[in-house]
């Protein structure tokens, strides 16, 4: 009959010391040994064996008018430390209880949901005015995809782009309301006389999302949500560290593999 006491951290350390011929802490300190063991568990063991024991369901919730969801430093956020906690995410994926499309291909996702810019003339320069205020008509507009442009008296380009939080940065300062389209901007230099000031934006129609892209440790949903929706996806989490001599791996049979791997 299997004896779980064989799989404790203490036995793993003893096995490693025998394998490495380092019985003394003067040859290999306990601190270093613990570090080797847990480094192997977190970063090597978990990658080489995607075990069902580590399979989990990752659940998070969309926010109205927000399309991208990244790892968070907020401990109350379901995506807290996501990029370190989980190794792999995979289909099936459910949004609001319905199975939905999931891809990790940036190209195929944006082939279906292109970020086509709408180019609009919002003003004409006079070589004096730098401050422009107004309201875009087609709203809401996509965050991180707002651009105001013109050309100054010396034929240098002027551009102000959004920072994803409603601020405008670049050649000047300003603000944009993604929902109402109201903007207030000041270029660093005045657009030259008779030169058009353009806005470039990506309007969208918010509704329940049906597709998700996982790329660069972030989830992007389309269509962009109009309210919170539950998103559920398969994920393989990293195994738990073992820090106390009496503790065991999540599955007892892992102990010898961990010992050989850490050695």
The answer to whether the CB of 27 falls within 8 A of the CB of 16 is no
CB 232 within 8 A of CB 94: yes
Task: Look at the alpha carbons of 80, 81, 82, 86 in this order and tell me if their dihedral is positive or negative.
Answer: negative
Band (113; pLDDT cuts 50, 70, 90)? very high
Name 15's Cβ contacts closer than 8 Å, sequence gap at least 6: 255, 256, 259, 260, 263
Cα–Cα distance for residue pair 205/209, rounded to 1 Å: 11
pLDDT of residue 218 exceeding 80: yes
Most confident segment among 13-22, 38-47, 211-220, 241-250: 211-220
Highest mean pLDDT among 3-12, 204-213, 246-255: 204-213
Q: Which of 35-49, 140-154, 246-260 has the highest mean pLDDT?
A: 140-154
pLDDT for the residue numbered 2: 46
Specify the range with the lowest mean pLDDT, choosing from 12-16, 103-107, 118-122. 12-16
Give yes or no for residue 139 having a pLDDT over 90. Answer: yes
> How much of the chain, in percent, has pLDDT values that exceed 90?
60
Res. 258 pLDDT band, cuts 50 70 90: low
52: Cβ–Cβ under 8 A, 6 or more apart, which residues? none
The answer on pLDDT for 5 being more than 70 is no
* pLDDT bucket at 249, cuts 50 / 70 / 90: low
Pair 56, 89: CB distance under 8 Å = no
pLDDT digits (tens, 9 = 90+) for 47-85: 555 566 678 899 999 999 999 999 888 888 888 888 777
Q: What is the Cα–Cα distance from 42 to 1, expressed in whole angstroms?
A: 29
Q: Tell me the per-residue pLDDT of 219-245, one tens digit each, with 9 for 90 and over.
A: 999 999 999 999 999 988 776 655 566
Predicted confidence (pLDDT) per residue in 167-209, tens digit: 999 999 999 999 999 999 999 999 999 999 999 999 999 999 9
Which of the four pLDDT bands, split at 50, 70 and 90, describes residue 39? Answer: confident
DSSP letter string, the chain:
---GGGGSHHHHHHHHHHHHT--STTTS-HHHHHHHHHHIIIIIIHHH---GGGEEEEEEE--TT--EEE-BS-TTSTTBTHHHHEEEEEEEEEETTEEEEEE--HHHHHHHS--PPEEEEEEE--SS--EEEEE-SS-SB-TT--EEEEEBTTS-EEEEEE-SSSEEEESEEEEE-TTT-EEEEEESSPBPTTPEEEEEE-B-------EEEEETTEEEEESPPSS--EEEEEEEEPPPP--STT---SSGGGHHHHHHHH-
What is the pLDDT confidence band of residue 129, given thresholds at 50, 70 and 90? very high
Enumerate the β-bridge partners of residue 170. Answer: 160
What confidence tier does 123 reach under pLDDT thresholds 50, 70, 90? Answer: very high
How far is residue 101's CA from residue 232's CA, in Å, rounded to a whole number?
A: 12
pLDDT exceeds 60 at position 253: no
Residue partners of 87: CB distance under 8 A and separation at least 6: 46, 47, 50, 54, 236, 237, 238
Whether the model pTM is above 0.85: no
**Per-chain mean pLDDT for the chain:** 86
pLDDT surpassing 80 at residue 99: yes
């Amino acid at each position: 009959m299997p004896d779980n006491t064989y799989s404790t951290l203490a036995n793993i350390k003893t096995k490693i010391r025998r394998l490495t011929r380092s019985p003394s802490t003067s040859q290999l300190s306990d601190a270093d040994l613990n570090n080797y063991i847990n480094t192997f568990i977190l970063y090597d063991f978990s990658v080489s064996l995607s075990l069902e024991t580590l399979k989990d369901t990752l659940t998070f919730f969309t926010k109205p008018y927000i399309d991208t969801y990244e790892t968070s430093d907020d401990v109350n956020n379901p995506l807290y430390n996501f990029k370190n906690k989980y190794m792999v995410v995979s289909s099936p994926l459910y949004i609001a209880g319905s199975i939905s499309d999931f891809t990790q291909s940036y190209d195929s996702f944006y082939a279906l949901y292109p970020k086509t810019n709408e180019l609009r003339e919002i003003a004409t320069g006079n070589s004096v005015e730098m401050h422009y205020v107004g309201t875009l008509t087609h709203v809401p507009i996509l965050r991180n995809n707002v651009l105001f442009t013109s050309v100054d008296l010396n034929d240098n380009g002027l551009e102000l782009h959004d920072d994803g939080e409603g601020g405008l940065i670049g050649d000047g300062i300003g603000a944009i309301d993604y929902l109402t389209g109201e903007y207030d901007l000041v270029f660093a230099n005045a657009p030259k006389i008779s030169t058009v000031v353009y806005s470039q934006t990506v309007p969208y129609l918010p509704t329940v999302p049906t597709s998700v892209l996982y790329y660069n440790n972030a989830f992007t949903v389309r269509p962009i949500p109009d309210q919170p929706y539950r998103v559920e996806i398969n994920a393989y989490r990293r195994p738990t560290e073992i820090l106390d001599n009496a503790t065991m791996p999540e599955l007892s049979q892992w102990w010898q593999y961990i010992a050989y791997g850490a050695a």
